[in-house]
Chain A
Amino acid sequence: MRGDPLRFGPGIDPAAPLARANPAAKLAVSLVLSVALLLTVDVVTAGTALVLEIAALPWCGLSPGALARRAWVLPAGAVPAAWAAAFLGTDSGATLLVLGPLTLTEGSAQAGAAVALRILAVGLPGVVLLSTTDPTALADSLAQNLHLPHRFVLAGLAGLSMFGILAEEGQTLRLARRARGLGGGGPLSRLRSLFGVVFALLVVSLRRATVLATAMEARGFGASPHRTWARPSPFTRSDTAFCLGGLALALLATAAGTATGSWHMVLS
């Protein structure tokens, strides 16, 4: 485990214009963009959205290095999916390339490009917006702005706070097992050893959760249906503007897709 991925790493500026938006606004924008892009599989809509998203990146507070560290999974997922769609998908149009049982046609090449662009365009806003969101701010916003049940939200936050501790415990457990001479050998015994560590970690975390619950209850957590908040989570005009911007991006991409006639509903 490399560090604590929940803390802002180097290269992330939480005070950038879009990074400091209310987490509820970020959720709304991610929701709108992903719905708009998941509805269709086509090059124009996904391409337009991706270009606009990249244009908005300078205000998101991620340095190129931080972006690369967070977003490398997107091309890693997009390339194999595109490959599968292009070579294994339904063939149509002129044949471009034949490699044994694999055929690349105009239709399947376009489908591959559409699939890849779609994965990138769906994934990018999530990666960027979530990586600049502090879990505590997210919980405050979920309970105060979206009015989700506060007991569940705050218990979730309490569970998250154990994240760093668990990483440490895992290291201790691994070292203890090494000292006992466990965990070496072939891949099978290493896998069994991994299971052992994971199970022990689960036991440790459940014990800690029980203690934490007792401590929270002793301080009156969840005793009253109403509660006051130490950290207010205001939803300002700039948050509304940010939401509208996200909506505009989704509408622009969809409009570009329908105008060129390439917008294609995924379910039909």
Chain B
Amino acid sequence: MPPHEQDTRTTGSDETPIEPGGGRNGLSLGLPWGLAPGHAATIAAGILLGIAVRAVGLPDTWELFGTSGDVLTTPVALLIALGTISVTGAVTARSPWRVVDLVVAAVIGVAGGLFLWGIATSWNALTTPLSFYPPASAGLAGLWLVPGVLGGLILRRPGAALFCELMAAVLEAVLGNQWGFSTVYYGVVEGLGAEFVLALLLYRGFGLLPAMLSGAGAGVSLALLDLAIWYPTFSASYRTAYIGLAILSGAVIAGVGSWALTRALARVGVLAPLASGAAAERV
């Protein structure tokens, strides 16, 4: 398909029209991405607090599940900084859920649930040829992550990735698979992984790169849960390979796949009532 101007617009990260100031107070300081000054200050404070925690370090007298504080310094600092950004992103996204968003999200969840159920029934056939190297099955992990990333890209609403992935996982479990109720946990964790990345981008990036990052984020969370629940006996090198393959698979299958699918759907015109369709509209 020949690339022309209108189509490349979906790949941009700032295609949503932005009202200056963006906030209720109507102050326009020309901040990027239409952030209100208060929100920008919150994000800056979160990042500074994270840097401060990293610089000072946590006391090694403090312990959490047998891990001493000094080892936890960097993770806690990252958690504070990234957590603040993503929560601010979710709060400041100027996009309430309309009824059409809700119903489209539900339908993506249903279609995704059917898709996941199909994968679940053929999972053994798909992964048995890969059993020569146990972590290799993570190369297909991206298939599980498609509904969430797709929902996040199509709807551009805070919580859309989580809702679509969770709905798909619940439907997969209702239709019956070999993992039973734990499928629902996977839905929550994978959805949160995809959601977290979109929130980090303040729900303002929905192009190819954000899609791949979102798929990768979902891949990390999926791999960690898999290792904790089903593969606790894996050696360190197997674990690393498993996480790496899951990230790659999430970025390629779920990220690039969902991005391409969103573009194709926008071309057909079915996304017209939605935020992604409005951004891709031909002039």
Contacts and interface: CB of A to CB of B under 8 A. Distances in A.
Interface of A: 5-6, 30-31, 33-34, 38, 41, 70-71, 73-74, 76-78, 80-81, 84-85, 88-90, 111, 119, 122-127, 130-131, 133, 135, 151-152, 155-160, 162-163, 166, 198-199, 201-203, 205-210, 212-214, 216-217, 221-222, 266-267
Nearest to B179: A123
B264 to A, nearest CB: 7
Contacts of B52: none
Contact of A126 (B104, B124, B180): B180
Contacts of B181: 30-31, 33-34, 122-123, 125-126, 130
A34 B182 contact: yes
Given A123-B180, A199-B264, A206 B228 contact: no
B157 to A, nearest CB: 11
Contacts of A212: 103
A214 B102 CA distance: 11
B110 A166 contact: yes
26 contacts: A5-B175, A30-B181, A34-B185, A74-B180, A76-B124, A76-B178, A77-B178, A84-B131, A84-B134, A123-B178, A123-B179, A133-B174, A151-B97, A155-B102, A159-B105, A166-B111, A199-B261, A205-B110, A205-B111, A206-B270, A207-B270, A208-B107, A209-B106, A209-B107, A213-B98, A216-B103
Given A34-B180, A135-B174, 20 more contacts: A6-B175, A30-B180, A34-B185, A38-B182, A41-B232, A73-B120, A89-B233, A130-B174, A133-B174, A151-B102, A155-B102, A158-B103, A159-B167, A166-B111, A209-B100, A210-B273, A213-B99, A213-B100, A222-B102, A266-B228
Interface in B78-118: 97-100, 102-111, 114-115
A251 B230 CA distance: 22
A74 B178 contact: yes
Contacts of B175: 5-6
Contacts of A127: 176, 180
Given A77-B178, A206-B271, A155 B134 contact: no
Contact of B102 (A90, A152, A162, A207): A152
Contact of A38 (B177, B229, B233, B265): B229
A267 B182 contact: no
B28 interface: no
A5 B98 CA distance: 30
Interface in B208-248: 228-230, 232-233
A152 to B, nearest CB: 6
Contacts of A130: 173-174, 176, 181
B265 A202 contact: yes
Nearest to A209: B107
B6 interface: no
Contacts of B145: none
A213 B176 contact: no
A130 B173 CA distance: 8
A209 B164 CA distance: 14
Contacts of A203: 265, 268, 270
Nearest to B171: A160
Contacts of A166: 110-111, 114
Return the 8 tightest CB-CB contacts between A and B, nearest first.
A159-B106, A77-B178, A126-B180, A123-B180, A155-B102, A126-B181, A213-B100, A30-B181
Nearest to A38: B229
B25 interface: no
Interface of B: 97-100, 102-111, 114-115, 120-121, 123-124, 128, 131, 134, 163, 167, 171, 173-183, 185, 228-230, 232-233, 261, 264-265, 268, 270-271, 273
Chain B binding surface, main DSSP class: helix
B131 A156 contact: no
A259 to B, nearest CB: 22
A131 B99 contact: no
Contact of B182 (A41, A122, A159, A207): A122
Given A6-B174, A152-B163, A203-B270, A209 B103 contact: yes
B106 A111 contact: no
Given A207-B270, A267-B228, A156 B176 contact: no
Contacts of B177: 73
B180 A122 contact: yes
Contacts of B109: 156, 159
Contacts of A216: 99, 103
Contact of A266 (B110, B120, B174, B229): B229
A202 B105 contact: no
Given A77-B179, A126-B181, A205-B111, A156 B106 contact: yes
A112 B214 CA distance: 35
Contacts of A74: 178, 180
